[in-house]
Amino acid sequence: MINEVLERDGLTVTIVETPSLGDRSYVVDDGATALVVDPQRDLDRVHAVLAERSVTLGAVAETHAHNDYVSGGLELARSAQVPYLVPCEAEVAYERVRVCDEDVQQVGTMTVRTIGTPGHTPHHVAFAVGTGDGPTMVFTGGSMLFGAVGRTDLVDPSLTEGLTRSQHASVRKLAADLPPDTAVLPTHGFGSFCSATPTTGTSSTIDEQRTQNPALTQDEEDFVQTLLEGFDAYPAYYAHMGPTNLAGPVPVDLSAASEADAHELRGRVEAGEWVVDLRSGTAFARGHVPGTFSFDASGNVVTYLGWLIPWGTPITLLGESAEQVAEVQRELVRIGIDRPAAQATAPVEELAGEQPLSSYETATFVDLAKALEVGAVHVLDVRRKSEWQESHLEGVQHIPLHDLMTRTDEVPDGPVWVHCATGFRSSIAGSVLDRAGKSVIVVADDFEKAAACGMTVVEGRS
């Protein structure tokens, strides 16, 4: 992936995107020395930037103990033997440089000022960086995002309202303390579930946020009420990220797992392990090893696999190529699923062994509309609550995908048409229902087409 580069007043910022998690890490350098902010765990991407820029790592900075991914900061700082700047109020189990509000560090010619910004977490900080009299950029982590703020409900329900009020104050503090043209560089918000609301744009400044950010356009009470009423579900694996980051993540091993044959796969399925097929949802529907799950590698595998799987369950990855498996393995280590139990890249017929392949039907919304014209059919919508409240088909069952594993008994045994927004989640749901012995038809289509097919779409929060 090509990294975006930002030039500001003699400093170069290389943006390291992780689109699957909606996050950004940053490498900022003065031409000789670099500061890395909020790095992901697969550090080869960071090392590649340092090599390309021909700069030496001077320090690593963490805005907070992340709730949506396992950080690579500790390992990066330890391996390079450089300071690891971590918020002083974060109760970590490892040695680091404690940075508190208004602390200042020198990294090469860069002045790095810590600004206390609690809200996303109680210990959250931002880092204002510059080389002259004042900062030219601020790394805001999960405080000020582009037209939004980081969620405040990820730590402890009893703290949520207080953290929301702190978040409002923290964003206002950044706006008051920093020059208007300061570049805002958040970690979360590009589709991340860590964002309280959708973000807007891919770059911004403090001045632009004055008219775009709800913490700066709403008074405290309106802001708090809006955020608290708008929170939707977030991935279940988040519960493990903060504790892992506070304890100190171990180094990553991205080497390939051992190859499994049909006999081993069958044994893993029968043992209750997860065998995950990375082919397209339609290919999976046409034929798959019985008892396996469909997670199309072209979609957001890491979020939904991490969300659905009982934590700690061994995973085996079935892919069309070693490269496809390796990329998903890389995605999974970012959320603390460190090693696949096995992998396999042989044709699915070979992997099934003596078992016949399982299959089910796929369809479009046109097909569903025709079926509804003939008679009553059971339709299951597996989108999230917020999507359902915005609009949904009249008279259908709603079970969000992340709840389906524990609610399959609520789905009838007869043919079930299952849909989501694009077909990615409905394919996952189809495999869950198929494994549970349900008769399923997966609508592998865009929900936006439903109304044009003549089906009644209910708008609003009903």
Pair (211, 304) in one structural domain: no
End residue of a domain, out of 293, 320, 352: 352
Q: Could you tell me if 159 and 273 lie in one domain?
A: no
Residue 376: phi and psi, rounded to 5, are -70, 135
Mean pLDDT value of segment 134-150: 97
- Out of 352, 372, 390, a domain closes at 352
**What 3-state class would DSSP assign to 144?**
strand
- The predicted-structure confidence for 234-272, as pLDDT tens digits, reads as follows 999 999 999 999 999 999 999 999 999 999 999 999 999
172 in the same domain as 154: yes
Q: Is 377 found in the same domain as 286? A: no
pLDDT reported for residue 1? 55
> Strand, coil or helix: what is 199?
coil
On whether both 62 and 211 belong to a single domain, the answer is yes
The Cα 278–Cα 35 span in angstroms is 36
Residues 40 and 16 sit within 8 Å (Cβ to Cβ)? yes
CATH of the domain at 374: 3.40.250.10
Which residues, 6+ apart, have CB-to-CB distance to 189 below 8 Å? 22, 145, 146, 148, 150, 195, 199
359 close to 287: Cβ distance less than 8 angstroms:
yes
Share of the chain above pLDDT 90, in %: 94
Same domain, 50 and 197: yes
Across the chain, what does the average pLDDT equal?
A: 95
Q: What string of DSSP letters covers 232-273?
A: ----TTHHHHHHHHHH-PPPP--SPPPBP-HHHHHHHHHTT-
Residue 375 pLDDT: 82
Confidence check: pLDDT of 345 > 60: yes
> In which order are the strands placed within the sheet that holds 183-186?
104-107, 110-116, 125-130, 137-141, 183-186
Residue 193 lies in a domain: yes
Do 399 and 318 belong together in one domain? no
pLDDT of residue 29: 98
Top pLDDT among 414 and 103 is at 103
Establish if 401 belongs to a structural domain. yes
Compute the distance between CA of residue 442 and CA of residue 281 in angstroms, rounded to an integer. Answer: 9
Residue 255 falls inside a structural domain: no
- CA dist., res. 304 & res. 447, Å (int): 19
* Residue 266 in domain: yes
Selection from 15, 33, 5, 7 nearest residue 110 by Cα: 33
Give the integer Cα–Cα distance in Å for 116 and 122. Answer: 10
Q: Report how far residue 333's alpha carbon sits from residue 251's, in angstroms, rounded to the nearest whole number.
A: 10
Q: Do 212 and 65 have their domain in common?
A: yes
Instruction: Answer yes or no: do 327 and 401 share one domain.
Output: no
Query: Domain check: are 188 and 41 in the same one?
Result: yes
Among the listed residues 129, 174, 175, the one whose alpha carbon sits nearest the alpha carbon of residue 34: 129
Residue with tokens 């396999």: 344
Query: Residue ranges of the alpha helices (H) in 258-313?
Result: 262-270, 281-286, 301-308
Q: Once rounded to an integer, what is the mean pLDDT over residues 283-301?
A: 97
Question: Residue 459: its pLDDT value, please?
Answer: 87
Note whether 442 and 423 are within 8 A (CB).
Answer: yes
Residue 209 predicted with pLDDT over 80 = yes
Residue at 240 is within a domain:
yes
CATH of the domain at 119: 3.60.15.10
Mean pLDDT for the stretch of residues 80-92: 97
Structure tokens at 95: 């040695």
The encoded tokens of residue 134 equal 């004042």
Q: Which of 202, 199, 150, 200 is nearest to 174 (CA)?
A: 150
Alpha carbon distance 225, 217 (integer Å): 14
Residue 84 in this model has a pLDDT that exceeds 60: yes
Distance between CA atoms of residues 93 and 165, nearest Å: 28
Q: Which domain does 330 fall in, by range?
A: 262-352
Of residues 420 and 3, more confidently modeled: 420
The pLDDT value given to residue 336: 96
CB 254 within 8 A of CB 330: yes
Indicate the angle between helix axes 160-177 and 220-230, nearest 10 degrees: 130
Q: Comparing C-alpha atoms, which of 41, 63, 82, 69 is closest to residue 143?
A: 63
Tokens of residue 370, six digits:
């025709």
Is residue 118 in some structural domain?
yes
Domain contains 253: no
> What amino acid occupies position 96?
R
Give the pLDDT of residue 461. Answer: 61
Paired sense of beta strands 416-419 and 378-381, if any: parallel
Helix (H, G, I), strand (E, B) or coil at 131: coil
pLDDT of residue 132: 81
Phi first, then psi, for residue 409 (nearest 5°) are -70, -15
Does 213 fall in a domain? yes
- Tell which of 332, 352, 372 closes a domain: 352
Q: How many domains does the chain have?
A: 3
Contact by Cβ (8 Å): 364, 444: yes
Does residue 145 sit in the same domain as residue 174? yes
64: DSSP letter: S
In terms of domains, do 308 and 369 share one?
A: no
Do strands 11-18 and 4-8 pair parallel, antiparallel, or not at all (unpaired)? Answer: antiparallel
pTM score of the predicted model? 0.94
